[in-house]
Structure 1
Amino acid sequence: MNFSASQENYLKIIWHLQQNRRRATAKVVADELNIKPPTVLAMFRQLQKRNLLTYNKTEGALLTDAGADAARKLVRKHRLIETFLGHVLGMDEQQIHEEAERLEHVISDQLMYRIDHYLGFPGTDPHGSVIPPWSLQNTIALGDVAVGRSFVVNALTLEDEKERYYAERDLVKGALWTMIEKPPGEQVCLLGNGKKFLALSLETAARIKVRVQA
């Protein structure tokens, strides 16, 4: 499915708002883009026709699975480009963001894979933000992992501050952990990775996708 740069920018903004649990109303999105709400509503209708989002005045715009997938891939491209420009070319944080804003719309998936491979499949960008996976297929919520089972973290769909908090504790994409305990009647679970333990609320665990090891 092909998108214009403008359509991709809308999807990305709505994705970021949803990640931070903010409603993507026409006014909020208009403020983000410094344009008028009627212009935003026209784009909402366009994207809704393509089954990329749903919209009502109360909830604002909500991405469908297809819309969230497209937005996540764009965010992934952006953060991988920033990582390449920062770590390989030595550009500063402001420069890498501005360049990534332009390049994310034109760079191919094939080239992004080669960059990802060259960088060693990094989990975070230079700003400390988690780099999302290409796909969430064949994953389950961390909270659904049975006690005693090991799993690899695939994606964290959390607020940026929380993502950085857990990244500092090694709960990042690609990390191997084991479900140690889920105390009955308590809204927490306990994880271990052989070096440390980490307690998570079940609410947070529901927003982390993992692949259970065989």
Structure 2
Amino acid sequence: MPLTSSMEDYLEAVLIVAKKQIEVRSVDIARQLNVSKPSVWRAMTVLKDGGFLTMDDHSFLLLTDLGQETAKKIYERHCFFTEQLIAAGIDPKTAEADACRIEHNISDESFSRLKETATQKQD
């Protein structure tokens, strides 16, 4: 199931919140993304139906293996582009917003090449 940019943002948010606290609830995602609880509920339903996450008996959100893999990939791209843009002199807030747009639209091949190039320049 191909994910929209919005669904990728929700997955990434679950991963980020899970790094900060053990249990992740819909309200935590709503706060992280500054969206309404009904919006989170709809997104979580789509992600659950797609096999990206589960919800336990206490309504805690848990990433499946597929969800974890996908969220990590998105988050890696986000961090990479944020760092690269800041290093290029872009204001951190602008870099963060631009990285969020780039992370969803770049191909795996292009990202790998850019990451390789950046690593080679650091060596």
Q: TM-score, normalised by structure 2?
A: 0.86
Q: Aligned-residue CA RMSD in angstroms?
A: 1.9
Change in 2 beyond 3 A, CA 1:30/1:45: same
Change in 2 beyond 3 A, CA 1:121/1:31: farther
Q: CA deviation at 1:57?
A: 5.5
Amino acid at match of 1:43: A
| Residue matched to 2:72 | 72
Q: CA deviation at 1:67?
A: 0.1
- Whether the aligned pair in 2 keeps the contact of 1:80 and 1:115 (CA below 8 Å) is no
- Whether the aligned pair in 2 keeps the contact of 1:53 and 1:62 (CA below 8 Å) is yes
Q: CA deviation at 1:2?
A: 2.1
Number of residue pairs aligned between Structure 1 and Structure 2: 121
- Unaligned segments of structure 2, at least 5 residues: none
Q: Work out the CA distance in 2 between the residues paired with 1:36 and 1:80.
A: 28
Amino acid at match of 1:108: S
Runs of 4+ in 1 over 4 A off after TM superposition: none
- Unaligned segments of structure 1, at least 5 residues: 123-214
Q: Work out the CA distance in 2 between the residues paired with 1:20 and 1:54.
A: 19
Q: Work out the CA distance in 2 between the residues paired with 1:121 and 1:79.
A: 18
| Residue matched to 2:86 | 86
Q: Deviations over 1:65-123 (max 9, x none)?
A: 10010000001111111232233x3223222112101111111111111110111169x
Q: Work out the CA distance in 1 between the residues paired with 2:35 and 2:89.
A: 34
Q: Does 1:120 align with 2:119?
A: yes
| Residue matched to 1:107 | 106
- Residues 25-64 of structure 1: pairs in structure 2 closer than 5 A: 25-56=25-56, 58-64=58-64
- Whether the aligned pair in 2 keeps the contact of 1:84 and 1:115 (CA below 8 Å) is no
Amino acid at match of 1:93: P
Q: Work out the CA distance in 2 between the residues paired with 1:22 and 1:13.
A: 14
- Residues 1-214 of structure 1: pairs in structure 2 closer than 5 A: 1-56=1-56, 58-87=58-87, 89-120=88-119
- Whether the aligned pair in 1 keeps the contact of 2:17 and 2:32 (CA below 8 Å) is no
Amino acid at match of 2:15: W
Greater length-normalized contact order (CA 8 Å, ≥ 6 residues apart): 2
- Whether the aligned pair in 1 keeps the contact of 2:17 and 2:28 (CA below 8 Å) is no
Aligned identity (percent) is 26
Q: Work out the CA distance in 2 between the residues paired with 1:49 and 1:79.
A: 28
Structure having the higher helix fraction is: 2
